[in-house]
């Protein structure tokens, strides 16, 4: 069994403030950003150990938060069965692509450390890819980053087996991916803050859920996320200017002042038309 764990950071165990995770924002203290990064590393190591204990033969771990760069190899659990990708873009078969290694050889897709989609009331740091995307829809269904990533994995028919994050992220995942196991490790107390069990407790919960997810995958209880093709993908932008710029891209239609739309023939092209991220991309 081979699985692919795609880590974001907002939903990591024991991470409770915006400053711990949106470290590029002005005024962020380095030591707080480093605390956040250490929480990510500890959570990844714990979940990886849980997956190996559950009998996974091969595991790809990808750091996607802000494009990656948050995990450092010397700090990671070292095991010949585990491959770490420090960036979400990389080379496979000589070509630059998004999430290298995600292909027909992968049996299950996990989205730990995640957050709810843009506009989710009461969620911790809800957003979808970038703050200027107010609403992202596939065939009319509003989805967040988990939906976009799962759709990409759907290209190879890979089922989504686990999500970890705040209660809203978990509810979002359960609504979209039948059979998914969720690890709810926090709930928001405001848009920028949340609370929950301490990091060690949350890691133990997540480890149990990873084992459950692997067992459910083995039993055939999980499904890929595969919206009907061709897909209509629409984005409502935060500003008219952003919509205007996006509408200049080839094949992109302007639906109204702030909304653009494209039609794509493959699940792996879900965001290629707007951010040139997918398969066979140019650097
Ligand atoms: Zn994210």
**231-260, pLDDT tens digit by residue?**
999 999 999 999 999 999 999 999 999 999
What number is the average pLDDT over the span 135-154?
98
Render pLDDT for 211-237 as a digit per residue (tens, 0 to 9). Answer: 999 999 999 999 999 999 999 999 999
Q: Return the beta strands (E) in the chain as ranges.
A: 2-7, 58-63, 82-85, 89-92, 95-98, 108-114, 133-138, 141-143, 160-166, 181-188, 194-195, 231-237, 253-256, 259-264
Ligand 1 centroid to 115 CA: how many Å? 6
- CA 127 to ligand 1 center in whole angstroms: 7
Q: What is the DSSP string of 66-131?
A: GGB----GGGSPP-TTEEEESBSEEEETTEEEESTT-STT--EEEEEEE-PPTT-TT-SS--SSST
Torsion of CA 115, 118, 230, 107, to 10 degrees: 0
- How far apart are the CA of 110 and the centre of ligand 1, in A? 14
Q: How far does the centroid of ligand 1 lie from the alpha carbon of residue 126, in Å?
A: 8
Contact 128, 144 (CB under 8 A): yes
Once rounded to an integer, what is the mean pLDDT over residues 56-71? 96
The pLDDT, as a whole number, for residue 283 is 67
At 134, the pLDDT band (50, 70, 90 cuts) reads very high
Query: pLDDT by residue (tens digit) across 90-132?
Result: 999 999 999 999 999 999 999 999 999 999 999 999 999 999 9
3-state secondary structure of 264: strand
**Using CA atoms, how far apart are residues 237 and 49, in angstroms rounded to an integer?**
40
pLDDT at 280: 82
Confidence of residue 281 (pLDDT cuts 50, 70, 90): confident
SS3 133: strand
Ligand 1 centre and the CA of 138: distance in Å? 18
Distance 47 CA to ligand 1 centre (A): 19
Q: Which DSSP letter does residue 239 get?
A: S
Query: Ligand 1: distance of its center to the CA of 20 in Å?
Result: 14
265 C-alpha vs ligand 1 centroid, how far in Å?
A: 25
- Gap from CA of 144 to ligand 1 centroid (Å): 9
Radius of gyration for the alpha carbons in the chain, expressed in angstroms and rounded: 18
Looking at the predicted structure, is the pLDDT value of residue 158 above 90? yes
How far is ligand 1, taken at its centre, from the CA of residue 73, in Å? 21
Mean pLDDT score of the chain, rounded to an integer? Answer: 97
Mean pLDDT of 61-75: 96
pLDDT(282) > 80? no
Quote the percentage of the chain above a pLDDT of 90: 98
Rounded to the nearest whole angstrom, what is the distance from the C-alpha of residue 231 to the centroid of ligand 1? 22
Tell me how far the alpha carbon of residue 239 lies from the centroid of ligand 1, in angstroms: 21
């Amino acid at each position: 069994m081979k699985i692919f764990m795609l880590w974001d950071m907002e939903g990591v165990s024991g991470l409770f403030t915006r400053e711990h995770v949106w470290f590029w924002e002005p005024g962020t203290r380095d030591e707080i950003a480093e605390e956040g990064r250490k929480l990510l590393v500890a959570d990844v190591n714990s979940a990886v150990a849980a997956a190996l204990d559950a009998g996974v033969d091969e595991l790809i771990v990808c750091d996607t938060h802000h494009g990656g760069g948050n995990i450092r190899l010397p700090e990671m659990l070292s095991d010949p069965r585990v491959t770490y990708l420090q960036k979400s873009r990389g080379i496979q078969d000589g070509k630059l692509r998004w999430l290298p290694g995600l292909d027909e050889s992968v049996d299950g897709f996990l989205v730990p450390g995640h957050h709810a989609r843009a506009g989710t009331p009461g969620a911790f740091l809800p957003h979808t890819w970038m703050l200027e995307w107010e609403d992202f829809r596939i065939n009319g269904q509003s989805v967040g980053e988990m939906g976009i990533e799962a759709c990409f994995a759907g290209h190879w028919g890979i089922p989504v087996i686990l999500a970890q994050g705040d209660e809203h992220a978990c509810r979002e995942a359960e609504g979209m991916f039948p059979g998914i196991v969720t690890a709810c490790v926090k709930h928001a107390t405001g848009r920028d803050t949340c609370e929950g069990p301490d990091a060690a407790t949350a890691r133990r919960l997540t480890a149990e859920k990873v084992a459950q997810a692997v067992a459910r995958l083995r039993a055939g209880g999980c499904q890929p996320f595969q919206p009907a093709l061709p897909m209509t993908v629409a984005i409502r932008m935060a500003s008219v200017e952003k919509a205007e710029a996006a509408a200049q891209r080839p094949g992109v239609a302007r639906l109204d002042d702030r909304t653009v739309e494209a039609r794509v023939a493959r699940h792996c092209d879900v965001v290629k038309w707007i951010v040139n991220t997918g398969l066979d991309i140019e650097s």
